[in-house]
């Protein structure tokens, strides 16, 4: 993930976009891309959406990740580490013998 | 990212949750977590939100990443590769000499 | 609001779109329009966004309302009545003498 | 809708909350409530969600409407009028003889 982070921050810095970035607007951006991802599924089943819009789905997922990593960079957060910690927290909330739908 | 993906899929499979997963609901889940992330910034400036809710912000960012990776796994998508391709596409749309706000 | 509801349901029925409508996708649609509304404010202050995109903001607000009313119609819900009930519930949660930010 | 608007603005003014309101955060709030509405449908079919969470669905729809009307009030927008105009615009985009899924 470090290589990707470097590409993302280089892209941003080559264009001087860091000046515009703030945490709130980066969170807004993540949301907007997540909505554009979901839009591929509007009025459709999963199968129909994946069949019709596979390319766009991949691009919107990429957009969500790119903004998420820019927010992580700005806040000095190690995303992979936080994800591991969250999985450990979830493992306590949802022990293996208790089968629950969802998270 | 491969190590993290294994932890995520192990977590899911130890609980048999793959049976509930479908692409549309995973996209819905990404959106919901992105909204919970944004909620930390509601009525606040970036500074206030980061100061008040740093821990929760990190957790919601982790949640977005975890669902994003579960969707990538289900669709056989290489997230980092798609992010690189998207950066290349953006580089054409926003050449370095053209300073534009945003993406 | 009854006159507007009739226009909305007539529009939908003249095109036979009721066949596609289900509560989950109507909720997805409300979300997507709310995100398009928010997009007007991405990277901008309230003043800049209202100045730059007043027309689009009005249209996205209209879209949110139209889908909200279609969901209300489908679920046989009286939106104005539910809003009044929610205000009463909020009034108990936030009594007048207790000054709280937000909801 | 005028009676409801008066109740909403009275509620806000009795608590002095107008001071916190700005268009961007009101748009963020609409989004957050729309996401809480959608959350009722996560991992479920429309039927399951309506059966399990009818009360909460009604409350989140009310929350979306309340924030939407507060934004309309702040921007001096006539929501019902804008919805009518949007329907007219949609009628041109989707003439009756052309059957299209969605909007």
pLDDT tens-digit readout, C22-75? 999 999 999 999 999 999 999 999 999 999 999 999 999 999 999 999 999 999
With tokens 């804008």, the residue in question is D82
For residues B78-95, average pLDDT: 97
For residues D11-25, average pLDDT: 95
Distance from CA of D66 to the nearest CA of C (A): 7
Q: Which residues of A57-75 are buried (b: 16+ CB within 10 A; e: fewer)?
A: bbbbbbbbbbbbbbbbbbb
- As a whole number of angstroms, the distance between CA D64 and CA C34 comes to 9
For residues B45-55, average pLDDT: 98
For residues B75-88, average pLDDT: 98
Task: Answer whether residue C102 shows pLDDT above 60.
Answer: no
Q: In chain A, which residues have their Cβ closer than 8 Å to the Cβ of D43?
A: 101-102
Note whether residue A100 is domain-resident: no
Q: How many CB pairs under 8 A join B and D?
A: 29
pLDDT band for D103, please (50, 70, 90 cuts): very low
Q: Between chains, do A102 and D42 touch, taking CB under 8 Å as contact?
A: yes
Q: Which chain C residue lies closest to D79 (C-alpha atoms)?
A: C62
Task: Answer whether residue A26 shows pLDDT above 70.
Answer: yes
Q: Return the closest-CA partner of residue C26 out of D47, A37, D46, D42.
A: D46
Domain count, chain D: 1
pLDDT of residue C97: 75
Q: In chain B, which residues have their Cβ closer than 8 Å to the Cβ of A57?
A: 23, 75
What distances in angstroms separate CA B44 from CA A101, C41, C90, C93, D22, one per listed residue?
Answer: 34, 15, 21, 21, 11
- As a whole number of angstroms, the distance between CA C50 and CA C37 comes to 11
Note whether residue A58 is domain-resident: yes
Tell me which residue in A28, A31, A42 faces C28 most closely, judged by beta carbons: A42
Of A75-79, C85-89, D42-46, D93-97, least confident by mean pLDDT is D93-97
For residues D46-62, average pLDDT: 98
Domain membership of residue D34 as a residue range: 1-93
Note whether residue A88 is domain-resident: yes
Q: Between chains, do C24 and D37 touch, taking CB under 8 Å as contact?
A: no
Surface of C (34-53) touching B: CB under 8 A? 42-43
C27 interfacial to chain B (CB closer than 8 Å): no
Tell me which residue in A11, A27, A84 faces B37 most closely, judged by beta carbons: A27
- Touching subunits of D (3+ CB pairs, under 8 Å) are A, B, C
Average of per-residue pLDDT values in chain A:
94
pLDDT of residue C1: 86
Task: Answer whether residue D34 shows pLDDT above 70.
Answer: yes
Q: Which chain A residue lies closest to B49 (C-alpha atoms)?
A: A24
CATH number, domain with residue D53: 1.10.287.1080
Q: Between chains, do A32 and C43 touch, taking CB under 8 Å as contact?
A: no
Q: How many other C-beta atoms can be found within 10 angstroms of the C-beta atom of residue B59?
A: 19
pLDDT of residue D97: 75
Distance from CA of D52 to the nearest CA of C (A): 13
Q: In chain C, which residues have their Cβ closer than 8 Å to the Cβ of A39?
A: 32
For residues B57-79, average pLDDT: 98
Q: Between chains, do D102 and A31 touch, taking CB under 8 Å as contact?
A: no
Task: Answer whether residue B88 shows pLDDT above 90.
Answer: yes
Note whether residue B88 is domain-resident: yes
What distances in angstroms separate CA C14 from CA A12, A43, C54, D75, D101, one per listed residue?
Answer: 49, 19, 30, 33, 13
Task: Answer whether residue C78 shows pLDDT above 80.
Answer: yes
Task: Answer whether residue B79 shows pLDDT above 60.
Answer: yes
Task: Answer whether residue B35 shows pLDDT above 90.
Answer: yes
Q: Between chains, do A28 and C41 touch, taking CB under 8 Å as contact?
A: yes
pLDDT of residue D100: 54
C25 interfacial to chain A (CB closer than 8 Å): yes
pLDDT band for B103, please (50, 70, 90 cuts): very low
**Sequence-ordered list of residues with C-beta below 8 angstroms from that of B30, at least 6 positions apart, any chain:** A34, A37, A38, A64, B64, B67, B68, B71
pLDDT band for D14, please (50, 70, 90 cuts): very high
Note whether residue A101 is domain-resident: no
pLDDT of residue A97: 75
Q: How many CB pairs under 8 A join A and B?
A: 169
pLDDT of residue D27: 98
Surface of A (64-93) touching B: CB under 8 A? 64-66, 68-69, 71-72, 75, 77, 79-80, 82-87, 89-91
pLDDT of residue D76: 97
Note whether residue D74 is domain-resident: yes
Q: Between chains, do A20 and C43 touch, taking CB under 8 Å as contact?
A: yes
**Sequence-ordered list of residues with C-beta below 8 angstroms from that of A17, at least 6 positions apart, any chain:** B101, B102
Note whether residue D99 is domain-resident: no
Q: What's the burial of A53, exposed, middle or buried (CB within 10 Å: 0-12/13-18/19+)?
A: middle
pLDDT of residue B1: 86
pLDDT digits (tens, 9 = 90+) for A52-65: 999 999 999 999 99
Task: Answer whether residue C100 shows pLDDT above 70.
Answer: no
Distance from CA of C75 to the nearest CA of B (A): 21
What distances in angstroms separate CA D23 from CA D11, D67, D71, one per listed residue?
Answer: 18, 10, 6
For residues C13-29, average pLDDT: 96
For residues D48-72, average pLDDT: 98
Note whether residue C2 is domain-resident: yes
Q: What's the first-to-final CA gap in chain C, in angstroms?
A: 24
């Amino acid at each position: 993930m470090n290589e990707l982070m470097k590409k993302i921050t280089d892209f941003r810095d080559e264009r001087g976009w860091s000046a515009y970035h703030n945490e709130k607007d980066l969170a807004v951006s993540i949301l907007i891309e997540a909505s554009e991802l979901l839009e591929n599924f509007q009025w459709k089943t999963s199968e129909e959406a994946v069949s019709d819009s596979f390319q766009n789905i991949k691009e919107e997922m990429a957009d969500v990740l790119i903004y998420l990593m820019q927010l992580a960079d700005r806040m000095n957060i190690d995303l992979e580490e936080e994800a591991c910690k969250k999985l450990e927290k979830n493992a306590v909330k949802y022990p293996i013998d208790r089968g629950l739908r969802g998270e």
